Structure 1
Amino acid sequence: MGEVFAGRYELVDPIGRGGAGAVWRAWDRRRRKYVAAKVLLQGDAHMLLRFVREQALRIDHPHVLAPASWAADDDKVLFTMDLVAGGSLAHVIADYGPLPPRFVCALLDQLLSGLAAVHAEGVVHRDIKPANILMEATGTGRPHLRLSDFGISMRKGEPRLTETDFVVGTPGYFAPEQLAGGEPDFPADLFAVGLVALYLLLGRKPDAQALVERFGAHGTPDAPEGVPAPLWGVISNLLQPDPGNRFRTATGARKALAEAAQLLPDPVPGEEPVEVFDQLGPLPAGFGPQGPEVAAAAAPVGFGPPPAAYGPGQPAAASPETSGFHLTPPAVAPPAATPPAASPAPRAVRSGRIAPPPAKVTAGILTAALLCFAVGVWALTRL
């Protein structure tokens, strides 16, 4: 059995590490499903501020992986997301190298669709790169992409968490205006999409600085080898050094991409299909598709029927969605002559499900409380 966090999330095994902390596969006892949980220490005030911003993001879109719930326990906090098993675009390239243009078009269409939803909320992602673009394990079926990791994202007009001359993001995927210290804006995300497109088509990380220099010296250069001309017409627009010369919106880039895809040659007969494998591996001993195996025989009091009563990843029909757990009282009261045993003081734990749209006020209060706490810790560290 793994460590149980805040009485709800059983940490199963580590599956990755992000800039703000470790990422675990975890069993959500309330929702009866496996989730991805990002865990970090509350003592790091700067990271806690980023945590508050990321867990507050509420974007419901099939190609966006946003937080679903959060919890705090002792000196740690976590938030959870859907568990995506296919790894990142970096895994796909490691398995196959350069990808077929039509497959790349399908991925870019989904990425731009998700990014359009993010921008519609006034959010600039600021860290679009292959490692932050996750894939469902669809095998040889239609790919399904999820844009993730909003740890350094920000809404336009929000105060920065860094000094104005400090560049935030991943080296190699900066837009020229980011390197110059400009305010975060949507065109910078579109520039990064252009670099991701080249990465998928060439099978290697492109040299962003060299590309900018080529554009500056020759206008729009010829398409790199392996990049079809119709597709290069879209990518070269995304990579324009001057943000004013790029597509104005992700939706506009997506429309141009659809037109370019129609001009691509048909797939080569016998071309090997791209397969997106399950990158998580088997569950460790003691865990099965329906949760901890020990729970299959007898569920803990207060958690409803055994997990076998539900399909994999399905929530219990009668599971309450309120924070905390309420144990079922005993059926028979203890004898009057027997004094009740003193209960140890409970640990301070907090957990909650990010509210759906009708309950945004409650979620906003929780987010504000976390933010106030984080700002206070940060202010103390600056004294």
Structure 2
Amino acid sequence: MGEVFAGRYELIDPIGRGGVGAVWRAWDHRRRRYVAAKVLQQSDAHTLLRFVREQALRIEHPHVLAPASWAADDDKVLFTMDLVSGGSLAHLIGDYGPLPPRFVCLLLDQLLSGLSTVHAEGVVHRDIKPANILLEATGTNRPHLRLSDFGISMRKGEPRLTETNYVVGTPGYFAPEQMMGAEPDFPADLFAVGLVALYLLQGRKPDSQALIEYFAAHGTPGAPQGVPEPLWQVLAGLLQPDPQARFRTATGARKALTAAVEMLPDAGPDDEPVEVFDQIGPLPDGFGPDGPVSAPQTPVEALGGAVGAVGAGQASQPPQQPLGAGQQAYGPPPVSMSETGSFHLAPPPRQP
């Protein structure tokens, strides 16, 4: 049995780390499904404020992975999201190296689709990178991308959590204006999308600083090796060092991408299909596709006495035996679990 958090989320096994905490596979006893749970210590005010900002984000879009629920227990807090098992774009590049242009365009279209909804909510992500872009485990079927980790995102106009001259994000995916301390804005996210696209096409992290310097000195360079010219014209519009010369919206970039895809050659018969594998692995002993094999035991000290095993939101009771003449029913009172995950002892039944 794993740790049961706030009476609801059973932590099963760690599956990764987020910006400020561990990510676990967990079983939600109320909704009876597996979820991803990000758990962090309430260590400082900045961490908590980032947590509050991320869990407060409620964006529903098929290509956005936003928090679904949250809970607090003692010195820890967690929030949950859909469990996405195909790993990140970094896993995919580790498996395959450079990806076919048409496949990259499909991923890029999904990323821009999700990002357009994020931006429409007034939110700047600020940390778009391969490790924060997850994939469903779809095998050789159509890939399904999810933009995740909104821990340092912010709405335009919100006060910053850091000093003005402190750059927040991941080195190598900063837009030039971010490094100069400019206020976060949507074109900075689009610059990062362009770098992610290059990463997928070339199979290695692009040298963003060299790219910025070359653009600044020579204008738009020719297409790098392995990047078809129509697609490069879209990426160049994302990678312009001057944000005023860059695509201003994800929707505009997506429209240009759609036009570019029509000019790409079709996939050849010998092209290897890209398969998105399950990166999480099998469930540990005691858990099956439909949840825990046996219901977890409620700690005795939490209830002040021995009670039966607690499952999804209610206590299991021992089998009822028929009472003989003169017998009375004895045993612990039944236990119920509230919506907040706390336990309540029900009053004993009246005796006849």
Aligned pairs, number: 322
The letter for the 1-side match of 2:284 is: P
The letter for the 2-side match of 1:116 is: S
Q: Does 1:212 align with 2:222?
A: no
Cα distance in structure 2, aligned partners of 1:57 and 1:21: 18
Between the two proteins, what is the percent identity of the paired residues? Answer: 78
Higher helix share: 1
Cα distance in structure 1, aligned partners of 2:349 and 2:270: 71
**Which deviations, in whole Å up to 9, do the C-alpha atoms of 1:232-260 show, x marking residues without a partner?**
00000100000000111000000000000
Cα distance in structure 1, aligned partners of 2:102 and 2:3: 44
**Which deviations, in whole Å up to 9, do the C-alpha atoms of 1:284-308 show, x marking residues without a partner?**
1111111111139x973673699xx
Map of 1:183 onto structure 2: 183
Deviation at 1:329, TM superposition (A): 4.2
**Which deviations, in whole Å up to 9, do the C-alpha atoms of 1:98-130 show, x marking residues without a partner?**
000000000000000000000000000000000
Q: Does 1:323 align with 2:333?
A: no
Q: Secondary structure at the match of 2:294?
A: helix
Map of 1:139 onto structure 2: 139
The letter for the 1-side match of 2:341 is: G
Deviation at 1:328, TM superposition (A): 8.3
User: Does the 8 Å contact 1:302/1:325 carry over to 2?
Assistant: no
Please give the residue correspondences for 1:124-273 in structure 2 after superposition, counting only pairs within 5 Å: 124-273=124-273
Match among 288, 300, 307 for residue 310 of structure 2? 300
* TM-score calculated relative to the size of structure 2: 0.87
Deviation at 1:333, TM superposition (A): 4.2
- Structure 2: gaps spanning 5 or more residues: 297-307, 317-336
- Distance verdict in 2 for CA 1:295–1:226, change over 3 Å: same
Map of 1:373 onto structure 2: none
- Distance verdict in 2 for CA 1:139–1:325, change over 3 Å: same
**Larger relative contact order (Cα-Cα within 8 Å, sequence gap ≥ 6):** 1
Map of 1:355 onto structure 2: none
Cα distance in structure 2, aligned partners of 1:239 and 1:189: 11
Cα distance in structure 2, aligned partners of 1:324 and 1:156: 35
Map of 1:357 onto structure 2: none
User: Does the 8 Å contact 2:89/2:130 carry over to 1?
Assistant: yes
Map of 1:109 onto structure 2: 109
User: Does the 8 Å contact 1:301/1:327 carry over to 2?
Assistant: no
For the pair shown, which has the larger CA radius of gyration, 1 or 2? 2
Deviation at 1:327, TM superposition (A): 5.9
User: Does the 8 Å contact 2:12/2:27 carry over to 1?
Assistant: yes
- Distance verdict in 2 for CA 1:299–1:136, change over 3 Å: farther
Map of 2:71 onto structure 1: 71
Map of 1:97 onto structure 2: 97
Cα distance in structure 2, aligned partners of 1:286 and 1:201: 42
**Which deviations, in whole Å up to 9, do the C-alpha atoms of 1:305-351 show, x marking residues without a partner?**
99xxxxxxxxxxxxx9943356684784479xxxxxxxxxxxxxxxx
- Distance verdict in 2 for CA 1:137–1:305, change over 3 Å: farther
- Structure 1: gaps spanning 5 or more residues: 307-319, 336-383
Cα distance in structure 1, aligned partners of 2:51 and 2:261: 38
Q: Secondary structure at the match of 2:72?
A: strand
Deviation at 1:45, TM superposition (A): 1.7
* TM-score calculated relative to the size of structure 1: 0.80
